[in-house]
Structure 1
């Protein structure tokens, strides 16, 4: 890549002289429907740079007169429902971590942090500019990405690079470099190489201050004492210690503008997981948050600030070089006199070393410490400290066909008992036709991660899974094939079976991107504690009882390229205590391009337990409106009617991005009783943030 010969103006036109001397990256390869040919829709990309920015322009051609397809101008849109283009920067060329920037055909931005070789965290939000201009036969994307926005090693002149394009009308997804169809185009194992004419310039002094001012009013209609109106101030700072290591600071942070969690029907015996959305915890967040497995996380950042105020925090994270990554986090929370919760300090340290082509070894230390804490008689007791240490080996083969993990964890608390450790591992093989995996977990009954997410303890688990795909020719079906899976939970000594599920499915994917799947499963559950199967306050089954059942179901998703999209799932069969359960879900969406997206989701459960609590029925319904007047002004409004917990929630959020990464938020939230729509709680928040590069 050559330095720009003249100044570049980001307007989607790309007529400056500086673009004429750049090389063209074209000749994209098809990834979907099949990865065996050149792309049919043409894409041409150019890149250049100056002292402050990397510039990219992409010309995305399509048949003349063909309308583009997008959901709305909402930021971080759904990839599968938009014509789009994005680029991936693997700035350390380690084929594991990177940055992704892109737009849909209407110009809405999409950006995220890349981790684990092919995953993108879209909650990350940073400062860059772009423009899109539409023509009868193409759209042109132009962007400036500041060197201060990304992290890279000074003096290194080779980066990993790839481009991805999706055209829904032709059902085609393509990439600059060939990528096997079973992997996403965001697979860093298959990036090409960006060669600089000279190493990229240093970002220079890189300090950003992000202050906020907030006014809020919260009212609880059932408790007149909880009527609070307040003003608050605080902010974050981002300080680049080097071009590849960043320090994040926060004082009196507030996350009220973060979109509330979507409610779900909870028929599970264990705690549910909701992902982290708060910006402060996101950069290099995979170092901390992805340690372990989805249900064995020694660190889960949502445990910090859960119902308590965060006073301040600091994070240092990034790359020492191509092989080493580090992360260190310190957070301080305030006390809560009403519950006698003391001030607490959280320390998390992570170290990661690359081994082989893409694999790595990681170490993690987590410490939660109560400060100046003396338990009082009759008050809730809290632990003086809780600590976790862990080590893991992550396998990522050079061609991405083999992945796996080997994990060890141990916890420490006052009076720790034996069996306070975890040992787990898995191995997966994934090529175009076969997906085969196996996983084993040993989780001690006294393993205690107070700052983690481990909903179940005291078990050994074995999971085996295999799937195969057929690719017929000359039909409307692109691929089809079976998947079989078996999961068994045993007690620690392997002398007693706790649960098992045996599952068989058959899936079809059509060339127009419709998908359909049918499955059947058998389940066995040995209850370890009393359980209300409906989770609605009715009669409970006793611990130690045994339950068997069979069930079947279907899943359908319509063509994503249509203005009207829909999908459904069904499940019918046995349930606890010789009962039955019918579950039906439906999702309906309609887009008014490019300004609005309407959606409706519905979930119905009919549970009949004739020997326990009889018939129970409940709905979870959630209409949603995304209104995007421009790509800087967004209104999101959704309602959630949850019959299971007897609540109606209304949430509206207006966001005005008056400058890059600087926003005004107005958030209004109501909770109602569903019987008479009497208000339970009401909140109004106005928050102003400003991103200032010092």
Structure 2
């Protein structure tokens, strides 16, 4: 621990003296002057307005992926302009004339699509920004960016305009982004900006600035400068009201509930409080249009993490959900409005304030109120987060969480720990100016009725990420009485199969990951990666609990196909009996086993592509043989058909049983245009004894205004086709810019 603290201190001082390639030097080397126009630009992808004849043009993009040492194979030209309402961007992407996309749906993102994108940081602190993407068939995606470099989810929604045109040797894209949608201080005359292009045919990402290969193309630490001769127009007020109405017809045969219909209504609102602070309101929110979870086969002893899909909780989610590390998150938004089994709990209303209150200070506040659902009592959830930027790219942040339960006296007496749950914590996340070195130190504390000890969680870590080498080391200690009712902790609750109960056990862990990357410049290969990972867990008394050591090697080909294999060595000192077959539980004992897995994915750009993986080896005192395969058919730009199959065969010596697990999923996506989409998702899961059909028709009749028709049906897999429940939902929402 002392060594990690020393490293943390040294790295903090290093940032003051390091001379490296970074965003500060980029904004001197890469500058584009924005042209002013008094005539609105017609968004048609043609570029015949007068302003495009005189606006500065930048080109000569750098390769970002698979390498960052050469210029892009195909030329890209970009121009910028503005009037009193819009920021305009014009792209010309030269290529063979054929384009590849995966979908016409909004928020499909940039990966695997021929597209162009805009990265802007209006405050120009390399802390937060915006990402606007349009693919060659004019499907839009947008999101907010943060300095931690996490992947984008495209959950942030705003109204903006674009149009594309396709020619024999190029395609063009024209964007118009309302100033009031992005929020900024009006006196800022230099913005951070970058331009991104994805050319799927050549398997290449390129950027205007020379972003290092080991960082995301949208990393806001490597922007150039957008230079304003005059101060940009004031963004103006940004107030949005999105009312909705729904009608839901349901039938629950499992509970004996007859067919019934229920109308509903509510609204969301977005209000710009200042040039950089926003208020979001929701009353009686409805998420019936959200796609169902993708089911998985769980062969661990613990609960698994399902990602959040509800858009209200995804916007600005990093302010709350980035605390902790992946297996330990104090805030997990799926705790709000969903019970432990994923069933809906009604949310009555909620409010969220997010944004910057100073140049380097970002805040988030959220309050949500749920209603009673059967025996599930009403709850109020409050979250407060403050991020303070220090040095160049480092952050000190703190949070407070509170879950208050409105229990009856009888419920409090029966479950006193359910009365409330509070968490508070502080984290220091260091990053040097170049973004290669990182380190963190965190402390978290939980508060529960009558619990005074073993209720802390802390971690220390260091990371390094360069062109060819990456390293992560994390040390964590989590007390047995650290509760996170608003969060997710993967292994704090241990299932005891002999007593059919959950037992809380705190733990300490050490996680180490090292990888080495080779980036060939010629030939069929574009990347070779070797990775070594070790995860070891100790009980609170420092006795051994579990270890998993793995080595993997992956090879990526220039035609987008991939091959990989991995070898794992596991050792477990089982604390409680567990069964994976429904037979006699495996006894408390020490187990050691090894397994091997091999994977291959073909060129996904072809009309037919496939993926296959197989594994074999030990599993506790038995064996696990697995096979998974998938095939995808695409008919551009309208049709995607995807079929996946997963099989596991677990065999243990008598009397511990054997079982076969099947997971089959099929997804059909038909995009009639960039406004009308039909998606059907079928899942068959024997482990959960559930078969699900989810079919959704969406018509976007106006920007950000939709009509949904959603059908969901659930059956047992055994007995096959025995009905559980079904629902048909009609939803209409309308986006008003006030």
Q: Which bracket does the TM-score occupy, shorter chain normalised?
A: over 0.9
Q: Do structure 1's residue 203 and structure 2's residue 235 form an aligned pair?
A: yes
Task: From 345, 348, 368, give the equivalent of 1:331.
Answer: 368
Measured in 2, the distance between the counterparts of 1:538 and 1:188 equals 53
Measured in 1, the distance between the counterparts of 2:50 and 2:75 equals 23
Q: What secondary structure, in the 3-state scheme, does the structure 1 residue paired with 2:381 have?
A: strand
Matched residue, 2:261 = 229
Measured in 1, the distance between the counterparts of 2:366 and 2:377 equals 20
Matched residue, 2:700 = 657
Matched residue, 1:609 = 652
Measured in 1, the distance between the counterparts of 2:515 and 2:486 equals 35
Q: Cα deviation per residue 1:390-433 (whole Å; 9 max; x = unaligned)?
A: 00011222111112322110000101141101011221111111
TM-score scaled by structure 2?
Answer: 0.90
Matched residue, 1:646 = 689
Task: From 530, 534, 545, give the equivalent of 1:486.
Answer: 534
Q: Do structure 1's residue 238 and structure 2's residue 273 form an aligned pair?
A: no
Query: Structure 1 regions of 5+ residues with no counterpart?
Result: none
Contact in 2 for aligned 1:163/1:175 (Cα 8 Å): yes
Task: From 63, 82, 91, give the equivalent of 1:49.
Answer: 82
Matched residue, 2:518 = 470
Measured in 2, the distance between the counterparts of 1:348 and 1:407 equals 18
- Cα gap change, 1:474 to 1:123, in 2 (>3 Å): closer
Q: Do structure 1's residue 540 and structure 2's residue 572 form an aligned pair?
A: no
Q: What secondary structure, in the 3-state scheme, does the structure 1 residue paired with 2:152 have?
A: strand
How many equivalent pairs are there?
A: 685
Task: From 349, 353, 361, give the equivalent of 1:312.
Answer: 349
Contact in 2 for aligned 1:563/1:591 (Cα 8 Å): yes
Segment of structure 1 superposing worse, 375-384 or 81-90:
375-384
Measured in 1, the distance between the counterparts of 2:615 and 2:452 equals 42
Measured in 2, the distance between the counterparts of 1:41 and 1:638 equals 37
Task: From 266, 269, 272, give the equivalent of 2:301.
Answer: 269
Matched residue, 1:18 = 51
Q: Do structure 1's residue 438 and structure 2's residue 473 form an aligned pair?
A: yes
Measured in 2, the distance between the counterparts of 1:560 and 1:640 equals 22
Q: Do structure 1's residue 60 and structure 2's residue 108 form an aligned pair?
A: no
- Quote how far apart the aligned CAs of 1:330 are: 1.1
Q: Cα deviation per residue 1:126-162 (whole Å; 9 max; x = unaligned)?
A: 2112111111111111111112222323321222111
Task: From 136, 142, 147, give the equivalent of 1:105.
Answer: 136
Matched residue, 1:175 = 207
Measured in 2, the distance between the counterparts of 1:381 and 1:469 equals 53
Q: What secondary structure, in the 3-state scheme, does the structure 2 residue paired with 1:375 have?
A: helix
Measured in 2, the distance between the counterparts of 1:587 and 1:402 equals 38
Matched residue, 2:431 = 396
Q: Do structure 1's residue 251 and structure 2's residue 283 form an aligned pair?
A: yes
Contact in 1 for aligned 2:35/2:82 (Cα 8 Å): yes
Q: Do structure 1's residue 687 and structure 2's residue 738 form an aligned pair?
A: no
Matched residue, 2:330 = 298
Matched residue, 1:322 = 359
Contact in 2 for aligned 1:606/1:616 (Cα 8 Å): yes
Q: Cα deviation per residue 1:196-225 (whole Å; 9 max; x = unaligned)?
A: 222322222221111000000111112233
Measured in 1, the distance between the counterparts of 2:240 and 2:227 equals 29
Segment of structure 1 superposing worse, 49-58 or 310-319:
49-58
Task: From 141, 158, 163, give the equivalent of 2:195.
Answer: 163
Measured in 1, the distance between the counterparts of 2:413 and 2:259 equals 28
What aligned pairs does 1:365-384 form with structure 2 within 5 A after superposition?
365-371=400-406, 373-376=408-411, 383-384=418-419
Measured in 2, the distance between the counterparts of 1:624 and 1:471 equals 35
What aligned pairs does 1:277-676 form with structure 2 within 5 A after superposition?
277-306=309-338, 307-336=344-373, 338-339=374-375, 341-371=376-406, 373-376=408-411, 383-457=418-492, 458-472=506-520, 474-494=522-542, 496-534=543-581, 537-542=582-587, 544-576=588-620, 578-674=621-717, 675-676=719-720
Measured in 1, the distance between the counterparts of 2:576 and 2:182 equals 49
Q: What secondary structure, in the 3-state scheme, does the structure 2 residue paired with 1:149 have?
A: helix
Q: What secondary structure, in the 3-state scheme, does the structure 1 residue paired with 2:57 have?
A: coil
Q: What secondary structure, in the 3-state scheme, does the structure 1 residue paired with 2:312 have?
A: helix
Q: What secondary structure, in the 3-state scheme, does the structure 1 residue paired with 2:681 have?
A: strand
- Cα gap change, 1:326 to 1:390, in 2 (>3 Å): same
Contact in 1 for aligned 2:528/2:556 (Cα 8 Å): yes
- Quote how far apart the aligned CAs of 1:692 are: 0.3
Superposition CA RMSD, Å: 1.7
Query: Structure 2 regions of 5+ residues with no counterpart?
Result: 1-33, 339-343, 493-505
- Cα gap change, 1:298 to 1:329, in 2 (>3 Å): same
